[in-house]
Amino acid sequence: MDKKVIYSAVQPSGNLTIGNYLGAIRNWVKLQNEYDCFYAIANMHAITVKQEPAELRRRTLELAALYIACGIDPEKSALYVQSHVPQHAELCWVLNSVAYVGEMSRMTQFKDKSQKHAENINMGLMDYPVLMAADILLYQAQCVPVGADQKQHVEIARDLAIRFNNRYGETFTVPEPLILKGGAKICSLQEPTKKMSKSDENPNASIFLTDDRDTVIRKFKRAVTDSGSEIVASDEKPGVTNLLNIYCAFKNCTLQEAEREFEGKGYGEFKLAVGETVADALSPIQEEQAKLLADKNYLGEILKSGADRAYRAARRTLSKVYRKIGFYQGE
């Protein structure tokens, strides 16, 4: 029986946080044993906001090395750079003909990014969800692993697939969001009611996967806690709850077990323990990433192999699409 197909991608813009790791990449590692996975480095999406070209190239390789260091196996999963598979852009253009301006302008991400980048409200920002739909539909993905806050983009992919299928006949698999269970939302260390973000202006708010041990521990020592001294998870203690969630995620223990472990201990000792636990977990990932980045030829071969595999699957879908819409493709 064929495995179901999963598609997911991360932009090579900004450093990834432990929230990205726990919420996405660590789950991808588990999924590759059960699904046929296509994991992309979404450099085409990244240029909807201004990028420094040399930095974008560097971060693309760094992200590829990070994927592998975190456990993505290139033998099991197609790991590739989005722009290496031209069908992404080609299918995006076709889907533009069934996407409506009104639905694109209502997308939450378009509104948010338009406010943050008011000097650069480009068509790419608005068209971002159509390209994302093309990413997913190109591989006939049945499942798209997303956080609950990203379901809107999968809904657009579903809408465009259904609209195209109704107009031209059955062509695309209609994807389902795969909401990954068991992962608590990882929040900012400085504003624990807000999600941890790689674009946060406060450098102490986020733990990046590239942060060295001293930086990780220092940031946790500065993390916001709450009034009182009890180390328990509750709505009234968002700071402590966030730190407990992070600790449990890296220790693979329950909140109840963590609360018992820190019963009677002070915030200082608690925050140091969380920092050391996270630093211990990140250290082998960072070492493996550095080793991979030292061999650019090997990384390049992996990305080429992944792009070749993705290209074959993408070409099949695009040929079918072109036939359905009436594009002449020769004999």
The three-class DSSP label of residue 305 is helix
Which pLDDT score is estimated for 110?
61
Do 155 and 98 share a structural domain? Answer: yes
Do 144 and 65 share a structural domain? Answer: yes
Do 312 and 234 share a structural domain? Answer: no
Q: pTM for the complete prediction? A: 0.89
Q: Are 154 and 146 contacting, i.e. CB atoms less than 8 angstroms apart?
A: yes
CATH number of the domain that residue 271 is part of: 1.10.240.10
Tell me if residue 198 is catalytic: yes
Supply the range of the domain harboring residue 47: 5-184+296-325
Do 225 and 99 share a structural domain? Answer: no
- Would 194 be classed as within a structural domain? no
How far CA 69 is from CA of 9, 66, 237, 286, 301, in Å, comes to 16, 5, 34, 8, 16
Do 172 and 313 share a structural domain? Answer: yes
Q: Are 249 and 184 contacting, i.e. CB atoms less than 8 angstroms apart?
A: yes
Do 110 and 142 share a structural domain? Answer: yes
**pLDDT tens per residue, the chain (331 residues)?**
689 999 999 999 878 999 989 988 988 999 999 999 999 999 999 998 889 999 999 999 999 999 999 999 999 999 999 999 999 999 999 999 999 887 777 776 666 666 666 676 788 878 889 999 999 999 999 999 987 666 777 999 999 999 999 999 999 999 999 987 656 689 999 999 999 988 888 999 999 999 999 999 999 999 999 888 899 999 999 999 999 999 999 999 999 999 999 999 999 999 999 999 999 999 999 999 999 999 999 999 999 999 999 999 999 999 999 999 999 988 6
Do 308 and 283 share a structural domain? Answer: no
Cα gap 54→154, rounded to integer Å: 31
Q: Tell me, what DSSP letter sits at residue 251?
A: H
Cα gap 167→150, rounded to integer Å: 27
- From the list 198, 221, 251, 324, the catalytic residue is 198
Beta bridge partners of 281: none
Do 302 and 258 share a structural domain? Answer: no
- Would 162 be classed as within a structural domain? yes
How does DSSP assign 121-167, residue by residue?
--HHHHHHHHHHHHHHHHTT-SEEEE-GGGHHHHHHHHHHHHHHHHH
- Would 190 be classed as within a structural domain? no
Do 26 and 77 share a structural domain? Answer: yes
Do 56 and 147 share a structural domain? Answer: yes
Total domains in the fold of the chain: 2
CA 34, 37, 39 angle in degrees (round to 5)?
Answer: 140
- Would 169 be classed as within a structural domain? yes
Comparing C-alpha atoms, which of 318, 274, 273 is closest to residue 134?
Answer: 318
- From the list 194, 195, 221, 320, the catalytic residue is 195
Do 300 and 273 share a structural domain? Answer: no
CATH number of the domain that residue 23 is part of: 3.40.50.620
- Would 221 be classed as within a structural domain? yes
- Would 330 be classed as within a structural domain? no
Tell me if residue 113 is catalytic: yes
Tell me if residue 3 is catalytic: no
- Would 208 be classed as within a structural domain? no
- Would 197 be classed as within a structural domain? no
Do 142 and 61 share a structural domain? Answer: yes
Which pLDDT score is estimated for 151?
76
